[in-house]
Structure 1
Amino acid sequence: MLKQKEYKAAREKAVKMIINAGVVICKKDIETMDIADFGLSNLSEEGAQILTLFQTEKVACRVIALFEDQTEPEHWHQPVNDIPGKEETLRIISGELRLYVDGENNIKEGHIPDKKEKYYTCRHEIIMGPCDTLTILPGEKHWFQGGKGGAVFFTMSTTPKDAYDPFSDPGVVRITQIRTE
């Protein structure tokens, strides 16, 4: 659960990062930005700032801002009814993104959040910078972490059904709750 003050500070910081990256956004975008702590109540370590530019039944485009060392927890996009799971393409706008997928354990730059080793099984590190593009296939486990100075990136996907995405950490809750102070 996020405190109102923490929510507002994260949103302000993410908006600055996104605008400094050259993405033009409007007041409505800012007001609807998702500040996701994934129910883990540790936004600076595990969370993401997600701005949905558009979403239809078939495609979605989002801008994600990750602060330095902030981690979006390990998850994958599973089939939903007759939909095979979403395909997601990342395009880095600014900063450095650490992406982790299945493969050889080569973690050098990033780190697994404290006491969460069993929930971060993907250990193959891919460092991405501006203009780097990579597609994650349906069912492929992955997690992200902001590199030095954080990262701003587009995520374009097919058939967005994010509410159905499973996370390795059973404590993850997809809908952020904000408490007033």
Structure 2
Amino acid sequence: MDINIQQCLQEAKELLVKSGFPVTPEEVAELAVNDFGLGDIRKEGFAFIDILRSPRLRITLLILLPNQTLPQHMHPSYDNEQGKEETIRVLYGMTKVYVAGNATKDIAIPKAKESYYTAKQEVALNVGQQYSVQPGTEHWFQAGPQGSVNICFQNRVDETKNIFSDPASQGCPIKAY
């Protein structure tokens, strides 16, 4: 395993401990990271543990390292159903959610990626706050300087249907059951 990946996993575990959210050793063993095929996990990527995953529901711990960005994407409709609705609730740190709307000033978009980050209205979430992203909404997440641990509730599980703004992205290859 790449040393950078190992370091990211270790840092994600440390953030998880700081959050105080109870997880079993088996769940911690399932901790995974994804850089979406973009090659710079500290800039664009995330760590996650699926707490529950069924054909119709997914509950995930989503961990972002300090200032790490989960790239802009959307959840389209498919198979005659709406796309995924996603609610993110902060357990530790601060998470910024970006959606379409009035642009927030001084957004920290990953360098040379400005054209792939068009959703620029910031919704800053602190511990205990949550935000629901509706199906078909372009959005992205970014941690604050401490990193963040979030719990996400999602009504669709097939992540291969997500559409990422950056054409170089390989997405998040988590298929439905």
Report the 3-state secondary structure (helix = DSSP H, G, I; strand = E; otherwise coil) of the residue aligned with 1:163: helix
RMSD over aligned Cα atoms:
1.4
2:62 aligned residue: 64
Alignment partner of 2:160 out of 158, 163, 170: 163
Q: Please, what TM-score do these two structures have when normalized by structure 2?
A: 0.93
Is there any run of 5+ residues in structure 2 with no aligned partner, and where?
none
1:35-55 superposed Cα distances (whole Å, 9 cap, x missing partner): 011111101110101111111
Report the 3-state secondary structure (helix = DSSP H, G, I; strand = E; otherwise coil) of the residue aligned with 2:128: coil
Alignment partner of 1:174 out of 171, 174, 177: 171
Identity over aligned residues, as a percent?
Answer: 26
1:83 aligned residue: 81
1:70-109 superposed Cα distances (whole Å, 9 cap, x missing partner): 000000111121221111111110101111000011134x
Report the 3-state secondary structure (helix = DSSP H, G, I; strand = E; otherwise coil) of the residue aligned with 1:93: strand
1:115 aligned residue: 112
1:148 aligned residue: 145
Report the 3-state secondary structure (helix = DSSP H, G, I; strand = E; otherwise coil) of the residue aligned with 1:78: coil
Q: Is the 8 A contact 2:43 2:67 kept in 1?
A: yes
Q: Aligned AA for 1:73?
A: P
Please give the residue correspondences for 1:3-152 in structure 2 after superposition, counting only pairs within 5 Å. 4-108=2-106, 110-152=107-149
Q: Show structure 1 runs of 4+ deviating over 4 A.
A: none
Q: Aligned AA for 2:100?
A: D
Q: How many correspondences in the alignment?
A: 173
Is there any run of 5+ residues in structure 1 with no aligned partner, and where?
177-181
Q: Please, what TM-score do these two structures have when normalized by structure 1?
A: 0.91
How far, CA to CA, are the matches of 1:155 and 1:6 in structure 2? Answer: 25
